């Protein structure tokens, strides 16, 4: 019975801490999270198509290095996996911001913190839906998040959109 409690409370801890992590990343890396948010909002397909080779490179490198019999290769494999998950988490911070902005009732006088939390919880719950969330939504979103975060760290923002003959101003890192 103790094993069941360990698993249950570990899952509850993860469910509570993921939205807090995404909010913390939005607060600690505002420009990077905003760049990721901008990429996901304006060019989601470009983020996805960049995420495919990035995810493939991480998976291939981690798989190859983890099979080598050298301790240094296994350590490097762990560090690459850790870096890939960190990169995806920065992209998820941008997605939490985007989902919070797009939620119905977002025009109500909610604080930015509340919108970030709502977006993070929606993302988290969507990933937890059995079968579709686990095997379709989470991997596709993860690939897109890797691409958006890669764009954000490189510093490539989408081109400004032309609105009725004028360029729309792009807000970089505006908080």
**What pLDDT score was predicted for residue 108?**
65
The verdict on residue 97 lying in a domain is yes
Number of domains in the chain: 1
The verdict on residue 93 lying in a domain is yes
The verdict on residue 170 lying in a domain is no
Mean predicted confidence (pLDDT) in 142-148: 96
Hey, what are 162's tokens? 């032309």
The verdict on residue 41 lying in a domain is yes
Name residue, tokens 């991480």: 58
The verdict on residue 20 lying in a domain is yes
- This prediction's pTM: 0.84
Mean predicted confidence (pLDDT) in 140-163: 88
**What pLDDT score was predicted for residue 84?**
96
32-41 pLDDT, tens digit each: 999 999 999 9
The verdict on residue 166 lying in a domain is no
Q: Please check the confidence at residue 173 and state whether its pLDDT lies above 60.
A: no
Q: In whole angstroms, give the CA distance from residue 12 to residue 8.
A: 6
The verdict on residue 171 lying in a domain is no
The verdict on residue 172 lying in a domain is no
- Of 29-38, 46-55, 69-78, 106-115, the range with the lowest mean pLDDT is 106-115
**How far does the chain reach from its first CA to its final CA, in angstroms?**
47
The domain of 29 spans 2-156
Residue 13, sorted as left (phi over 0), alpha (psi -120 to 50) or beta, turns out to be alpha
H helices of the chain, where? Answer: 2-28, 30-42, 44-67, 71-102, 112-127, 132, 138-154
């Amino acid at each position: 019975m103790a094993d069941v409690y360990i698993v249950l409370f570990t899952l509850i801890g993860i469910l509570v801490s993921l939205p807090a992590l995404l909010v913390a990343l939005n607060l600690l890396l505002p420009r990077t999270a905003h760049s990721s948010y901008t990429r996901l909002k304006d060019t989601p397909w470009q983020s996805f198509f960049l995420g495919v080779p990035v995810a493939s490179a991480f998976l291939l490198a981690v798989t190859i290095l983890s099979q080598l019999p050298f301790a240094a290769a296994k350590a490097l494999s762990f560090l690459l996996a850790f870096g890939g998950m960190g990169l995806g988490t920065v992209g998820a911070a941008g997605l939490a911001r985007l989902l919070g902005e797009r939620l119905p009732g977002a025009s109500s006088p909610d604080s930015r913190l509340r919108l970030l939390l709502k977006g993070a919880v929606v993302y988290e719950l969507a990933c937890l839906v059995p079968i579709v969330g686990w095997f379709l939504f989470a991997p596709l979103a993860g690939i897109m998040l890797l691409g958006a975060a890669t764009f954000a760290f490189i510093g490539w923002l989408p081109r400004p959109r032309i609105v009725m003959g004028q360029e729309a101003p792009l807000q970089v890192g505006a908080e």
